[in-house]
Structure 1
Amino acid sequence: MWVVKIGGSLSHDPSLRLWLTELREVGGGRVVIVPGGGDFADRVRQYQSEWQFDDLAAHNMCLLAMTQYGLMMQGVLPDLVIASSEAKVRRALRDGRVAVWVPTALMRDTPDAMSNWDTTSDSLAAWLSTMLNAERLMVVKSCPIDPDEPLETFAQNGVVDRRFFDYVRDANYVVELIGKDNVELMRDRLLNEPVTQGFVARGGV
């Protein structure tokens, strides 16, 4: 099983449709897509700045932002299956489909380690990868990805969130950052590459 996190920065990018189409074509029964927050989450930041509500409310709103992006993905490609729980994810994969995970089950009544801006959809994708015992986590970004940069640098530069490295430090799955123009590399990985362990960064934008 693969978890593919598609950044919110692709929400207005023509490559989004290509990624979704290719994942459906070669990832049926294997792939779970995690949507980013995109400008849905950006609006949460704006409202929090205006109204000064706490991070718990912002966290729950950002989970709904990811859900909106996921629903948009399904709107673009109706064959995708919205899944809000592990059971629904696994059912979609058993049916040979591609699941889009929406994290509504992580909404909280009281603050916890996740309910802050240091933990975004990147870390949630890593959390899900661990929970599902995934083989690989592929994080698709629209910005350039330098394959020689250590993962910590991506966190320091805001390419992934601050908590991401903590979530994947001891991961038993492959972690790969990949540029949006490397859809063919993703396709090749799914079709041909044996499973290995570790961190890999791939550029392409």
Structure 2
Amino acid sequence: MWIVKLGGSLCADPVLVEWLDLLAQLGGGRVTVVCGGGSFADEVRRVQAHWQFNDLAAHNMALLAMAQVAYQLHALNPTLRLTTSKTDIRRVLQKGQPALWQPFELQRDQPDAQTNWEVTSDSIALDLARRLNAERLVIVKSCAIDPQQTLPQLCEAGVVDRRFGALSEHAPFPIEFLHKTELERMRALLLGDVRQLG
């Protein structure tokens, strides 16, 4: 089972539809899509900066932002089946369908190590991949990704959040970073076409 994280910045990009089509066509039974919060999460940041409320509230609001984007993606491609838990994800995948996760289960009543802006949807996707014993994590970004950069350098450059590096240590699965234009590379990964991956 694979986790594919689509960055929130893709939400207003025409290429989003192509990504959803690809994952719907080739991801049945093995792909779970995790989406960023996009402009909804940006609004949470703006409102928190204005009102200066705590990170616990912002965390829960940001998770709802991710859930709203999931509703958007499902509306654009209903083949992706909405899920809200590990059990739900496994049920959908066992039916041979691709899953689309809404992280309601991560909402908190009390603050913990995850309830701050150092943990974004990238680390949330990584955590889900660990909890589901995933075979691979693919993170799709709109920003430029230097293939020569190490993971710590990507964290330092802000490509992924600060916690991602530590959380990814000794991950028992490969982690791939793809630019939004690399649809054919994603296709090759899903098809196991090693000739196109060199």
Residue 184 in structure 1 maps to residue 171 in structure 2:
no
CA distance in 2, matches of 1:47, 1:141: 25
Q: Which residue of 2 aligns with 1:170?
A: 170
TM-score by length of 1: 0.93
Query: How many residues are treated as equivalent by the alignment?
Result: 195
Hey, what does 1:134 align to over in structure 2?
A: 134
Task: Give the AA of the match of 1:5.
Answer: K
Secondary structure at 1:161 match in 2: coil
Q: Which amino acid aligns with 2:13?
A: D
Q: Distance in 2 between matches of 1:137 and 1:84?
A: 19
Q: Could you say what secondary structure the match of 2:12 adopts?
A: coil
Superposition misfits of 4+ residues, deviation over 6 angstroms: none
CA RMSD, Structure 1 to Structure 2 (Å)? 1.1
Partner of 1:30: 30
Task: Output the CA distance in 2 between the equivalents of 1:193 and 1:172.
Answer: 22
Give the counterpart letter for 1:82 in structure 2: L
Secondary structure class of the residue paired with 1:46? helix
User: Equivalent residue for 1:41?
Assistant: 41
* Counterpart Cα distance in 1 of 2:193 and 2:2: 12
CA deviations on 1:112-133 (whole Å, 9 max, x unpaired) are 0100000000000000000000
In the superposition, the TM-score normalised over structure 2's length comes to 0.96
Residue 193 of structure 1: how far off its partner (Å): 5.2
Task: Say whether residues 1:19 and 2:9 are aligned partners.
Answer: no
Question: Residue type of the partner of 1:72?
Answer: Q
Q: Which residue of 2 is the match for residue 123 of structure 1?
A: 123
Once the two structures are superposed, the pairs formed by residues 89-168 of structure 1 within 5 Å of their partners are 89-168=89-168
Structure 1 residue 144: Cα displacement: 1.1
Could you give the per-residue CA deviations for residues 161-200 of structure 1, whole angstroms, max 9, x where no partner exists?
Answer: 1101111111000101110011111111111158xxxxxx
Q: Identity across aligned pairs (percent)?
A: 50
* Deviations, residues 136-174 of structure 1 (Å, cap 9, x unaligned): 000000111111001111111111011011111110001
Q: Which runs of 5+ in 1 are unaligned?
A: 195-201
Counterpart for residue 73 of structure 1: 73
1:84 and 2:84 matched: yes
Look up the match of 1:197.
none
Question: Quick one: distance in 2 between partners of 1:187 and 1:92?
Answer: 21
Partner Cα distance (2:147, 2:133) in 1: 25
Shift in alpha-carbon separation, 1:193–1:165, aligned structure 2, 3 A: farther
